[in-house]
Structures are given as C-alpha cells and as structure tokens.
C-alpha cells in the first residue's frame, strides 16, 4: 500500500555538515530585520554589565560593611543592587520580545518562499518525495528555526560577553584563584567537541523520520475509506506503530547526549565551586583573601556556568536548527520547472507565435515528431510517436492502460520534459516557448476532478480575475449551472475538502467549467468520463460538447461510446501509433480499435 520508506529515509539524512555555510545563507533571511537585531546586540552589553555588577556589589557590602560592622551606607548599596536588577529585567524583556517577534517574521518569510518554490517544482519531484515529507519541511522544520530564536540564539553574543567579563573580573580580583577555577575549562571544551558530531547526526535522523511518519499519515488519511473497506485498520496501526517507534528511538540519542552534556556542565560547575572553597578557604585563613572576594568568586563562577548551561541547551536547539536548515536549503536548491526547462524563461514577446501570420496558421496546431519518453530513464513509454492535429479538430486517443496515452498530455503541457523528438505548437517547439504561455493555451480536465476548499466560484476561476468574469458563462456552456443555481448559496456555496459534498458528476462539471473559464485554445480531456456513472454520463456528455465548441480537442478515452463522433481516432499500443481513422474506418479495418469496441459493447 505504501511504506518501504528506507530509501527516502536514507536520502534525507545523507550529506555533510557545513555549519558556517548554512548560517551565512540563513543570514540573508535575518538581514531585513537588522534594526531590531542590532537593537538587541546593543542591549546585550548592558545586560552583561548588570549581571557582572551584582557579585561585585555583594563583595563591597560584605567587605566594606557586613564584616566590619559598618552599617552606614549599606542601604544605598542595597538600593543600587535592586536598581541594577530592575534595569536587567527591563532590558531582558525588550531583548526577548524583539528576538521572538523577529523569529516569527523570519519563519513567515521562509514558509512563503518554500511554498512559492514548491508549487513551481517539476511534477517528477512529487513522484519521488512523499507529500508528508514535503509538508514537514514547510512546517516542522521551519518551526525549529522559530524555536532557535525563542531560545535566544542571538543572546549567545551576550553570553560570550558575560563570560569574557567574568573571566576578566576574576583575573583582576585574584589571579591564583582564577587559575585554579579555570583549570576545568579544557575538560569542558573537550566534552563540547566530543558531543558535537553525535548530536548533529541524531538530529538529522529525527528530522528524516518525522518526515517519513508525516508522509505515512498523509497517505493513510487520504485513503481512509480503502483502509476501512478492506479491514486494514489493524495492519495500518501496526505500521504506524513501527514508524512512531522509529521516530521515538531516533529521539533517544538526542535526549541522551543533551542530558549528558547538561549533567557534565553541572558536575564541572560543582567541581569549580569546590575548588574555590578549598583553595579560597585556605587563602582566607592565611589572610591573602577577603571573605567578600570568596563570595564574589562563588557567585561569578555560578554566573560563569549559567551561560555555559544555556549554551549547552542552545547548542541542542542549534543542532536541530542546522539539521532543519540542511533540509530546507536542500529543498530550495531543487531546480524548479523553469530552471529544469531553461527555455521556459524566455521572453513572451519574442517566443509567442503571431496568430495572424499565415505561415504559422497554415501549420498544424499540435504536432508530435518522433517523441520518445521514459519515466525512469530506461523503459520507453513512448517510442518515436508522431501525430498532427489541425486547428479546430477533435482527436481521440484510445488504447490499453499503460500504453502512453496520458503521457502524451503530460508532455504537451510540459509537466515532464521530452527526452527525444519534439512537440510543436503552431510550428514552434514548445521548449522555445515560455512555460506559462504553453499552459495558458491548453485546458486540461483529468479523470479525477480536483476541487479545493472554498466556494464554487473560486474552484472555477481559481482566483484569476479574468476567469472570474467568465464563471457563469463557463458554467452555462457545460451545463453546470443547472445544479449550481439550485444550491442554497449558488456560486458562493462552500466546497468541503476534496469536494466531499458533491457527487462525482457534479465535481466533474465544475472542472469542465474551470477549463472553459480560462478560455484555452486547446482542450485536453484525460479520461474525463472514466469514473462517471451511467446516470451522469448524459449530463457529462452535454457538458463536453459545450466545452469543445470552437476549440481544438485532444480526448483520451476509455469509454469508446464517448468518442465515436471524433474527427479522428488514434489507437496507441506499446508507445506507438498503431491505427488512425474515423470510428467507421477503424471498425471496418477490424484491428485493435474494433476489438476494443467489440469487448465493450458485447458486455451485457
């Protein structure tokens, strides 16, 4: 049914780590918000100064007043201490507010860019990547970046300033005690370096397995009716449990390394305090150190390890963000259809055929010349296919499933690119025409009508203002107005997800009206009546006649009764054109078409 995601999983977690390259690229998204970021950076030294001043003030209070018993002036020191705490709180509020608001804006920008990119990717990309995996990159991966800002990743600068300040003050206060305290720093650096690669690998696996689980959920929810009809609930539960367990297990190393790093920092902090008490106590007894300096040192070492503890937590968030950035930029680096088909970016004015030019209008409107194509680069679906279609002609294409009928329409609309041969529109290779121009000239109706959440009007015009003016006329021309106008809200009737509040026939009529509303020159019907019940067939046939009027039509049909009045019928077999002629001519030829006709019409 699905699954077999090991290949996807392996592909998604592959790759090397280039932290600085990722951060440099990410900086481009931060740049538009440089003013609030600079404001935060200007605030950070003041926050660090407030924190540095607190142990020093306590030292002054102890050595100058408490130890000596001079209480005069102690209240001023206490008020100063409270003032510094208040100032730090105000500055911290501004810092956190600005950072988190910037984080939300950056996430919004990245989601918008990702969506713009995804909707322009070639259809072949969606053949390889599960929908859930793509959705994960647009949602969960971007959210990780928001978490990075929420954790105050920019405040790393403030943490570093604070650490430099603490080291400087401690060295100034007492060099020997400082050296004893800092003797544990090499151990701390080694621990951080050791954990780095292990944590990044674990985070990569977490993001990949989350994408696989989301892909599974998307597929199951989309096919829930099939799962229930065939009593596959328990089997799907088991498969989801496997993916869920895989995601859980991928998180376990992250938790282990995160907890280990935090525990090591805590242990080293405690060791540092113990060293201060051991060495500092001896210095106090010998008269080389005051009690206030010892207390200040203990407070400074607590403040020294506080940002280190924060850095260890932020490091975990940063590793997750790096893994997310890898996946996001990998998606953004995937070439769009315009990039894959570079000719599509040409000038509209330069490439668009002049309709009044007699040399062009005399040529076939559509021409396939020796077209060969394969989806996997191996087995050809089409082999040297040739076909010419005149303006205004109605051509039907029939044949066995998998023979290449639908592939012809996908190549004509450039959802896939031709491998060998060429397709011409009015004598011009479609690869030399802008991609948008080619698709504007062609209207496509698929076997499974696709409706979006919104009104019927929106589903016909898809938000295009020019098409919106033709919505009612288009609906009337295909006969959709007969059921639309009976609805309580008419054209403003809401369409539920996947059009579940309409019958298949009604959904198909809406899709017919959509094709007409965009006023295409060429109409492609890809088995548009294959899923229609007999009762709806007459209604649909009337819609098709109204839709085809005045247009060149290419009809891929399974039901031969729907294409008997076509100007020409083409039989495709094994990727080549096997027969060509009118309905009567092909019946007289007693070939493939005649056999298909006999099989269909001999059924009771």
d(CA 242, CA 452): 33
d(CA 179, CA 175): 6
Return the CATH architecture of domain 18-339. Answer: Up-down Bundle (1.20)
- With cut-offs at 50, 70 and 90, classify the pLDDT of residue 18: very low
**φ, ψ for residue 305 (rounded to 5)?**
-85, -15
In this predicted structure, what is the pLDDT of residue 356? 46
413-457 pLDDT, tens digit each: 888 888 889 999 988 998 888 888 888 888 888 877 788 888 889
DSSP reduced 3-state for 519: coil
With residue 220 as reference, give the H or E element that holds it.
helix 185-222
In this predicted structure, what is the pLDDT of residue 537? 61
- With cut-offs at 50, 70 and 90, classify the pLDDT of residue 17: very low
Q: Is the pLDDT of residue 44 over 80?
A: yes
Query: Using an 8 Å Cβ cutoff, are 525 and 544 in contact?
Result: yes
Q: Kindly state the average pLDDT of the residues 398-412.
A: 85
- With cut-offs at 50, 70 and 90, classify the pLDDT of residue 294: confident
In this predicted structure, what is the pLDDT of residue 424? 92
What Cα–Cα distance (Å) separates residue 327 from each residue in 17, 122, 208, 451?
Answer: 11, 18, 9, 30
- With cut-offs at 50, 70 and 90, classify the pLDDT of residue 35: very high
Number of Cβ within 10 Å of residue 278's Cβ equals 10
Query: Using an 8 Å Cβ cutoff, are 113 and 194 in contact?
Result: no
- With cut-offs at 50, 70 and 90, classify the pLDDT of residue 590: confident
**Who has greater pLDDT, 580 or 286?**
580
Q: Is the pLDDT of residue 310 over 80?
A: no
Range among 58-62, 336-340, 453-457 rated most confident: 453-457
Query: Using an 8 Å Cβ cutoff, are 519 and 358 in contact?
Result: no
Q: Is the pLDDT of residue 113 over 80?
A: yes
In this predicted structure, what is the pLDDT of residue 7? 38
Which distant-in-sequence residues (6+ apart) come within 8 Å of 201 by Cβ? none
254-266 pLDDT, tens digit each: 788 777 777 887 7
Q: Is the pLDDT of residue 396 over 50?
A: yes
- With cut-offs at 50, 70 and 90, classify the pLDDT of residue 159: confident
What single string gives the DSSP state of each residue in 288-347? SS-HHHHHHHHHHHHHHHHHHHHHHHHHHHHHHHHHHHHHHHHHHTSPPHHHHSGGGGS-
- How far from chain centre, in Å, is Cα 48? 39
**Residue bearing tokens 């990547």:** 129
In whole angstroms, how large is the CA radius of gyration of the chain?
35
Mean pLDDT computed over every residue of the chain: 79
- With cut-offs at 50, 70 and 90, classify the pLDDT of residue 533: low
In this predicted structure, what is the pLDDT of residue 440? 87
Range among 110-119, 277-286, 556-565 rated most confident: 110-119
182-215 pLDDT, tens digit each: 787 788 777 767 776 667 677 777 877 887 887 7
In this predicted structure, what is the pLDDT of residue 83? 92
In this predicted structure, what is the pLDDT of residue 604? 40
Each domain of the chain, given as residue ranges in start order, spans 18-339, 391-414+439-601
Tell me what percent of the residues of the chain surpass a pLDDT of 90. 5
**φ, ψ for residue 524 (rounded to 5)?**
-120, 120
Q: Which fold has domain 391-414+439-601?
A: Rossmann fold (3.40.50)
Q: Is the pLDDT of residue 8 over 50?
A: no
- With cut-offs at 50, 70 and 90, classify the pLDDT of residue 16: very low
């Amino acid at each position: 049914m699905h699954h077999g995601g090991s290949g996807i999983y392996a592909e998604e977690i592959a790759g090397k780590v280039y932290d600085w390259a990722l951060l440099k690229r990410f900086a481009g998204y931060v740049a538009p918000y440089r003013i609030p970021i600079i404001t935060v950076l200007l605030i950070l030294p003041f926050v660090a100064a407030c924190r540095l001043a607190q142990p020093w003030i306590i030292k002054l209070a102890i050595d100058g007043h408490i130890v000596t018993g001079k209480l005069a002036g102690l209240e001023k020191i206490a008020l100063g201490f409270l003032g510094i705490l208040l100032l730090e709180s105000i500055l911290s509020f501004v810092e956190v507010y600005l950072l988190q608001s910037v984080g939300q804006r950056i996430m919004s920008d990245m989601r918008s860019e990702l969506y713009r990119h995804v909707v322009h990717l070639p259809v072949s990309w969606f053949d390889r990547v599960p929908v859930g995996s793509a959705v994960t990159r647009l949602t969960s991966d971007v959210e990780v970046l928001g978490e990075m800002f929420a954790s105050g990743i920019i405040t790393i600068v403030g943490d570093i300033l604070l650490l430099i300040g603490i080291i400087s003050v401690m060295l100034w206060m007492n060099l020997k005690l400082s050296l004893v305290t800092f003797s544990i720093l090499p151990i701390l650096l080694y621990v951080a370096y050791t954990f780095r690669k292990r944590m990044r690998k674990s985070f990569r696996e977490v993001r990949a397995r989350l994408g696989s689980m989301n892909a599974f959920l998307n597929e199951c929810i989309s096919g829930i009716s099939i799962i229930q009809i065939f009593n596959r609930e328990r089997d799907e539960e088991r498969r989801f449990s496997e993916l869920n367990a895989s995601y859980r297990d991928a998180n376990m190393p992250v938790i282990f390394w995160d907890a280990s790093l935090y525990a090591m920092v805590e242990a080293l902090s405690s060791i540092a305090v113990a060293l201060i008490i051991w060495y500092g106590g001896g210095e106090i007894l010998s008269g080389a150190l005051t009690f206030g300096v010892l207390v200040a040192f203990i407070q400074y070492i607590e403040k020294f390890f506080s940002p280190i503890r924060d850095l260890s937590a932020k490091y975990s968030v940063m590793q997750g963000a790096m893994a997310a950035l890898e996946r996001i930029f990998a998606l953004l680096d995937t070439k769009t259809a315009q990039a894959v088909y570079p000719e599509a970016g040409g000038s509209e004015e330069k490439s668009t055929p002049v309709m009044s030019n007699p040399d062009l209008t005399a040529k076939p409107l559509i021409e396939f010349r020796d077209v060969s194509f394969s989806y996997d680069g191996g087995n050809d679906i089409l082999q040297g296919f040739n076909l010419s279609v005149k303006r205004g002609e109605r051509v039907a294409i029939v044949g066995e499933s998998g023979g290449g009928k639908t592939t012809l329409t996908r190549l004509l609309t450039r959802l896939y690119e031709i491998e060998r041969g060429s397709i011409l529109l009015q004598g011009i290779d479609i690869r030399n025409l802008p991609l948008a121009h080619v698709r504007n000239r062609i209207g496509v109706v698929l076997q499974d009508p696709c409706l979006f959440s919104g009104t019927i009007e929106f589903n016909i015009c898809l938000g295009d203002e020019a098409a919106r003016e033709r919505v009612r006329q288009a609906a009337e021309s295909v006969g959709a107005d007969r059921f639309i106008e009976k609805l309580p809200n008419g054209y403003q009737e809401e369409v539920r997800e996947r059009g579940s509040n309409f019958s298949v026939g009604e959904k198909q009529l809406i899709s017919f009206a959509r094709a007409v509303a965009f006023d295409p020159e060429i109409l492609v019907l890809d088995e548009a009546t294959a899923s229609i019940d007999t009762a709806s067939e007459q209604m649909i046939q009337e819609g098709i006649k109204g839709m085809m009027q005045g247009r060149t039509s290419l009809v891929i049909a399974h039901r031969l009764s729907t294409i008997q009045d076509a100007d020409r019928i083409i039989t495709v077999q094994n990727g080549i054109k096997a027969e060509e002629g009118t309905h009567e001519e092909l019946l007289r030829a007693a070939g493939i078409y005649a056999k298909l006709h006999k099989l269909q019409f001999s059924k009771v």
